Amino acid sequence: MKKLWLAVWHEYTKNIRQKSFLFALFSLPLFIGLSVGLGVIISSFEENSAPVGYVDNSGLFDNPVSISTVSDRERVEFIKFAELSEAREALEDGEIQAIFSIPSEYPDNKNVEKYFWEDPSENAERDFYDFLQLNLANDYRPEVRNRTAFGTILIIRTPDGHREFPQNNPSVNNFLPLIIGVAFIMLLLISSGYLMGGFMEEKSNRTIEIMVTSLSPAQLIGSKLLTMLAIGFTMLFTWIVFGLLVYFVTGSFLDLTWFQDITLNWRDILTVVAVALPSYVFAAALLLAIGLILGDKQEAESVGPIFFMLGFIPLWFVVAISRDVNGVLAVAFSVLPLTSILTIGFRNMFIQIPIWQVIASVAIQTVCAVGAVWLAIRTFQLGMLQYGKRLRLNEIISSAKSLIREA
């Protein structure tokens, strides 16, 4: 056992010191951070918090209700001017970004004139018309007035009360199970490259011949799989730390509502992780067995993206799954290897996965993982017996059948 852990530690430290590992480790967080940063920058260019002036020729807004006092978000300030000429002077001096002139027949005549040097921001125009609606409904009760001005918020809630999905402002809470599922598939793609590349390199430089003098085939295959798991969890831990940093910065300093008030539903998270772990081991062991059959490094490394695409098969049927999250297709994809990770994550957005489906999925993934590990060990044993020759699939199958008969 000590030799096994020494092999894992050696392989792990060798991989994490590579520049390619550091690039893979930080490429995804940096890409996400860059996307969020660009979104914030673009949003800041589209919005302008400078005051807006208005001239009320209708007399309906002599004592207006300030929209900032009843709204739950920051609004543009509106300054009333008695005359249009006075407002134009403020516009020329840069004190306001635009002028809205309300006609005397308003609201029968809704032709509000707008004056500006540069187009006012979208938030300024939106806030102004909210301001008009708010004050036109000022005679009603505050709750009726506010709903008239700001509209309704539609929240889709499941009958059991376990899921809520705000239609107009979903948060990261709604997508967290799916994000975790996608993260595991990304881990599979990245870490499998290190597993296949390192193993095929050891075969080509004959290092594997030295290792088998100290480790049994089972220990050698086990060390490769444990190394892949260690690399994957290192990446996952780094991404979690980066995610917490993004949550703190965007939620506290940038005031992005999408990242605020994140609550962790541990049942959903543990469901995705419980299914993902054996599925991850299954895919890693099967990749290793296929790599041993192919024998060529370039061919072996090209298999990883195929498994990556298989993991994203549920996306092709996302409409059918979303229409019936408890249907036959959804349940089948939830228990099948590779497709289970993303399907479970996606379904968790809408329902709590029944516990029997979680147990069935974990059981099937575990059986498949054990079978894939056994196949990898047997393939490696046959490969050592026929060193220098390319393994054939029928040889592995006939060998497996003979072992089953003996058992």
Report domain extents, the chain.
Answer: 52-152, 169-406
Nearest to 301 by CA among 223, 195, 208: 195
Cα–Cα distance between 192 and 351 in angstroms, integer?
32
Per the listing, tokens 């999250």 go with: 325
Cα–Cα distance between 118 and 124 in angstroms, integer?
12
Phi/psi for 9 (5° steps) reads -65, -40
Q: Given a cut of 90, is residue 363 above it in pLDDT?
A: yes
Going by the DSSP 8-state scheme, the letter that residue 249 receives in this structure is: I
Q: Given a cut of 70, is residue 141 above it in pLDDT?
A: yes
Distance of CA 33 to the CA centre of its chain: 13
Buried-exposed string 141-153: b where 16+ CB fall within 10 A, e elsewhere: eeeebbeebbeee
The string of pLDDT tens digits covering residues 80-113 is 888 888 888 888 888 888 888 888 888 888 888 8
Dihedral sign, Cα of residue 54, residue 57, residue 63, residue 67: negative
The string of pLDDT tens digits covering residues 7-63 is 778 778 877 787 777 777 777 777 766 766 666 666 655 667 788 888 888 888 877
Q: Which amino acid is it at 232?
A: G
Going by the DSSP 8-state scheme, the letter that residue 401 receives in this structure is: H
Instruction: Tell me the pLDDT of the chain averaged across its residues.
Output: 76
Alpha helices, DSSP H only, in 47-121?
84-92
Q: Is residue 250 a contact partner of residue 39, using CB atoms and an 8 Å limit? A: no
Please state which architecture CATH assigns to domain 52-152: 3-Layer(aba) Sandwich (3.40)
Q: Given a cut of 80, is residue 383 above it in pLDDT?
A: no
Higher confidence at residue 218 or residue 202?
218
The string of pLDDT tens digits covering residues 153-179 is 676 666 666 666 665 566 666 677 788
Cα–Cα distance between 78 and 34 in angstroms, integer?
35
The string of pLDDT tens digits covering residues 226-266 is 888 888 888 888 888 877 777 676 655 555 555 555 666 77
Q: Is residue 272 a contact partner of residue 180, using CB atoms and an 8 Å limit? A: yes
Assigned token pair, 44: 């800041």
Q: Is residue 378 a contact partner of residue 396, using CB atoms and an 8 Å limit? A: yes
Alpha helices, DSSP H only, in 57-212?
84-92, 122-136, 142-150, 172-204, 207-211
Indicate the range of 10-14, 140-144, 365-369 predicted with least confidence: 140-144
Q: Given a cut of 60, is residue 285 above it in pLDDT?
A: yes
Q: Hey, is 114 helix, strand or coil? A: strand
Assigned token pair, 198: 């390192």
Residues 6 or more apart in contact with residue 121 via CB below 8 angstroms? 46, 47, 48, 97
Average pLDDT over residues 321-329: 87
Cα–Cα distance between 198 and 192 in angstroms, integer?
10
Residues 6 or more apart in contact with residue 181 via CB below 8 angstroms? 272, 276, 341, 342, 344, 345, 346
Nearest to 12 by CA among 25, 21, 2, 3: 21
Phi/psi for 79 (5° steps) reads -110, 125
Candidate ranges 1-15, 202-216, 318-332; pick with highest mean pLDDT: 318-332
Assigned token pair, 65: 């209700």
Nearest to 50 by CA among 73, 75, 72, 80: 75
